[in-house]
Chains A and B, each alone.
Chain A
Amino acid sequence: MSPLDWAVLFAVLGLFVVYGVWRGRGGRDLADFLLAGRSMPWPAVALSVMATQASAITFLATPGQGYVDGLRFVQFYFGLPLAMVMLCVTAIPIYRRLRVFTAYEYLERRFDAKTRSLAAGLFLLQRGLAAGLTIYAPALVLSVVLGWDVRWTCVLLGGLVTVYTTWGGSKAVTHTHVLQFLIIMTTMVAAFVIVLRSLPPGVTPGDAAFLAARAGKLNALQLRFDPNDRYNLWSGLIGGFFLQLSYFGTDQSQVGRYLTGRSVTESRLGLLFNGMVKVPMQLGILSLGVLVFVFHQFAPPPLFSNPVESARLATGPQASAYHAIASRHRAALAERETHVRSLLAARHAGDRRALADADGRLEQSRKDLAELRGETVALIRARDPSAQTSDTNYVFLAFVLAHLPVGLIGLVFAAVFAASMNSTSAELNALTSTTVVDVYQRLAHARVDARREVWVSRAVTVVWTAFAVGFAEYASRLGSLIEAVNILGSLFYGTILGIFLVAFLLPRVGGTAVFAAAIVAEVAVIACFWRTEISFLWFNLIGCALVVGAALALQPWIARRTAP
């Protein structure tokens, strides 16, 4: 990166911290610190909700996913608008009317203390570990691309977030979310426009869509039902609906965002805005990846987008084999470009026969390139069996570094940091809320004064940051266990959602029945995870259905046993 890019990067990071501290000033009590005084208008609620969900990996991996796999990932979000509507009808009015700080506080009022403790405990376990990965995953990518030490990158990310989250609490988090999210979106739109304008003369947006379609990248909808296929219409609509319902309805990192709204109306409008914008936004980010793919039909992409692994191959014992592959790669790319241009010429001429010929030759070129890539991955594995062999997360940044103008590169990196800070700050605020309201206040018995509660909350935020950064440092040594921690959310979300659905929709079911049902469901979901090949999105539905079904079955039996 140029000195201007570094200046832009550090100026924007400094701006986030100063802005957060400034907007977070003046918090007097717990409602101010944990819920921004319940004072936010709906646009702030909406952007905060969206910023919380969109972590840095979303902005790194999603264009990469579009590049490699096309648009099919968009189906993952199809259930989200339906979940937003459901939550506007059920959860928001209840949470707001009871003036709760956390979703789990509601469970004690509705059921009993043990059910609240179970849900809060599952949340702290799952979200506490996830917060570490929210820091680690982008830190790993940034450290590779920027040449930094991953541990210090984690410390930098955690440190920046801690300053304003600890000082200003939820108010600082919401206001910085708005600023950060606007910068991220501006950067993405700028990148999209620049890629589009960088296509060779004579290649129109229609040609770009044609090339993407011919390469199978416009595969946005899969109608065939297959429970083992991660992304299709049905897993997105049904599994995704339950996942999003659980995430937005019962995960404090989201509940805490919309409870900052100044009224039921503001909270609802915030969620509905998210419901309208999220799916088109994801489609846009995936399309950016597809567009980068089309751009690379004319401009040579790197053989492997992870610069560290490429450099290791180029200078290590496999250097001669690597350079031989790189030479064949360059020749294959030149050949592919010729076929791509022939295909476009045939399209413009309306010559079906030439189109079919060019299509066949292009397909052969793609196979040759895929083989070369496979050989490169095999070399990486031969050098180090534990090395990263997927470069999806590096595709977009490799493009940014090679093709975006000076200044904008620094802004893109600032946007990646911003996205990581977005989700981390919301997670830390939610972990603090749950620890203070669901653990500390219950153990303290007597209420302490408001200012002391704010200082306790600040101390808890620092402790959770230290835990998250510490886990992020440790995560670099976990290897494949990282994936297991990522799946952790899906193992618990269904059960927690089931508890809340029973609370909202089945007034005759009591605490003991739902508690026992939750234990049964959790054991069953974990058994499904170990013993079956079912895609993880379905765990949300299975866990939820089991809690509801078992609670309904157990309630009459428990009622008879406890009847006087």
Chain B
Amino acid sequence: MDTRPPGPADPARRPQLGDDEQPPSLPGGWRTLYAVVIGELLLVIAFCYWLTGRGR
């Protein structure tokens, strides 16, 4: 039986910034890096689209 009271007070339930978390030295920090990763994926998909078009 689940006897734990649900709620956000438990530290296991909510992420917080840790002491060892240094944001990357980029404008915008982590968000910029995430955008770069997703942007590169979009570029690769566009490249795949172009490659597929060559075969038609």
Task: Name the A residues within 8 Å of B11 (CB-CB).
Answer: 97-98
A110 CA / B13 CA spacing, docked (Å):
6
- Shortest C-beta distance, B12 to chain A (Å), equals 4
Check if B52 sits within 8 Å of A221, measured CB to CB. Answer: yes
A98 CA / B12 CA spacing, docked (Å):
7
Check if B38 sits within 8 Å of A81, measured CB to CB. Answer: yes
User: How many A-B contacts if CB must be within 8 Å?
Assistant: 125
Q: Which of B15, B21, B40 contacts A265 (CB 8 A)?
A: B21
Any B CB within 8 A of the CB of A292: no
- Shortest C-beta distance, B32 to chain A (Å), equals 11
User: In the complex, which residue of chain B has the Cβ closest to the Cβ of A507?
Assistant: B13
A84 CA / B54 CA spacing, docked (Å):
31
Any B CB within 8 A of the CB of A233: yes
A85 and B52 in contact, given A78-B45, A98-B12, A110-B12 (Cβ under 8 angstroms): no
- Shortest C-beta distance, A68 to chain B (Å), equals 16
Q: Which of A275-283, A303-311, A490-498 contacts B (4 or more CB under 8 A)?
A: A275-283
Task: Name the B residues within 8 Å of A233 (CB-CB).
Answer: 45
Check if B15 sits within 8 Å of A510, measured CB to CB. Answer: no
A508 and B6 in contact, given A85-B38, A221-B49, A269-B24 (Cβ under 8 angstroms): yes
Task: Name the A residues within 8 Å of B24 (CB-CB).
Answer: 265, 269
Q: Which of B7, B10, B44 contacts A110 (CB 8 A)?
A: B10
Check if A94 sits within 8 Å of B52, measured CB to CB. Answer: no
Task: Name the A residues within 8 Å of B20 (CB-CB).
Answer: 96, 262-265
Task: Name the A residues within 8 Å of B30 (CB-CB).
Answer: 88, 268
Check if A112 sits within 8 Å of B4, measured CB to CB. Answer: yes
Task: Name the A residues within 8 Å of B45 (CB-CB).
Answer: 78, 221, 233
Any B CB within 8 A of the CB of A219: yes
- Shortest C-beta distance, B9 to chain A (Å), equals 9
A110 CA / B15 CA spacing, docked (Å):
12
Check if B55 sits within 8 Å of A85, measured CB to CB. Answer: no
Cβ < 8 Å to B, chain A residues 98-121: 98, 106, 109-112
- Shortest C-beta distance, B17 to chain A (Å), equals 7
A279 and B44 in contact, given A213-B55, A218-B55 (Cβ under 8 angstroms): yes
A interface majority secondary structure:
helix
- Shortest C-beta distance, A507 to chain B (Å), equals 4
Query: In this complex, which of B11, B22, B36, B52 has the most chain A Cβ atoms within 10 angstroms of its Cβ?
Result: B52
Contact with A along B1-42 (1 / 0, CB 8 A): 111101110111111111011111000001001101110110
Task: Name the A residues within 8 Å of B44 (CB-CB).
Answer: 279-280, 283
Check if B12 sits within 8 Å of A109, measured CB to CB. Answer: yes
Check if A219 sits within 8 Å of B55, measured CB to CB. Answer: yes
User: In the complex, which residue of chain B has the Cβ closest to the Cβ of A107?
Assistant: B12
A90 CA / B15 CA spacing, docked (Å):
7
Check if A507 sits within 8 Å of B48, measured CB to CB. Answer: no
- Shortest C-beta distance, B23 to chain A (Å), equals 8
- Count of chain B residues with Cβ under 8 Å from any Cβ of A? 38
A283 CA / B44 CA spacing, docked (Å):
9
Any B CB within 8 A of the CB of A239: no
Any B CB within 8 A of the CB of A74: yes
Cβ < 8 Å to B, chain A residues 198-249: 209, 212-214, 216-222, 233
Any B CB within 8 A of the CB of A272: yes
Check if A82 sits within 8 Å of B15, measured CB to CB. Answer: no
Task: Name the B residues within 8 Å of A93 (CB-CB).
Answer: 15-18, 21
Task: Name the A residues within 8 Å of B14 (CB-CB).
Answer: 507
Cβ < 8 Å to B, chain A residues 523-564: 555, 558-559, 562
Task: Name the A residues within 8 Å of B3 (CB-CB).
Answer: 562
Any B CB within 8 A of the CB of A509: yes
Check if B6 sits within 8 Å of A507, measured CB to CB. Answer: yes
A507 and B8 in contact, given A219-B55, A276-B37 (Cβ under 8 angstroms): yes
Check if A510 sits within 8 Å of B51, measured CB to CB. Answer: no
Contact with B along A51-90 (1 / 0, CB 8 A): 0000000000000000000010011001001101100111
- Shortest C-beta distance, A95 to chain B (Å), equals 10
Any B CB within 8 A of the CB of A430: no
- Shortest C-beta distance, B19 to chain A (Å), equals 9
Check if B51 sits within 8 Å of A221, measured CB to CB. Answer: yes
Any B CB within 8 A of the CB of A343: no
A111 CA / B18 CA spacing, docked (Å):
22
Task: Name the A residues within 8 Å of B8 (CB-CB).
Answer: 507
Check if A81 sits within 8 Å of B40, measured CB to CB. Answer: yes
Cβ < 8 Å to B, chain A residues 492-530: 503-504, 507-513
Q: List 23 A-B contacts (CB under 8 A).
A: A81-B41, A88-B34, A89-B15, A96-B18, A109-B10, A110-B12, A111-B2, A220-B47, A220-B48, A220-B49, A221-B52, A222-B52, A233-B45, A262-B20, A263-B21, A264-B20, A272-B33, A279-B41, A508-B6, A509-B6, A555-B6, A562-B1, A562-B3
Closest 3 CB pairs of A and B: A220-B48, A263-B20, A512-B2
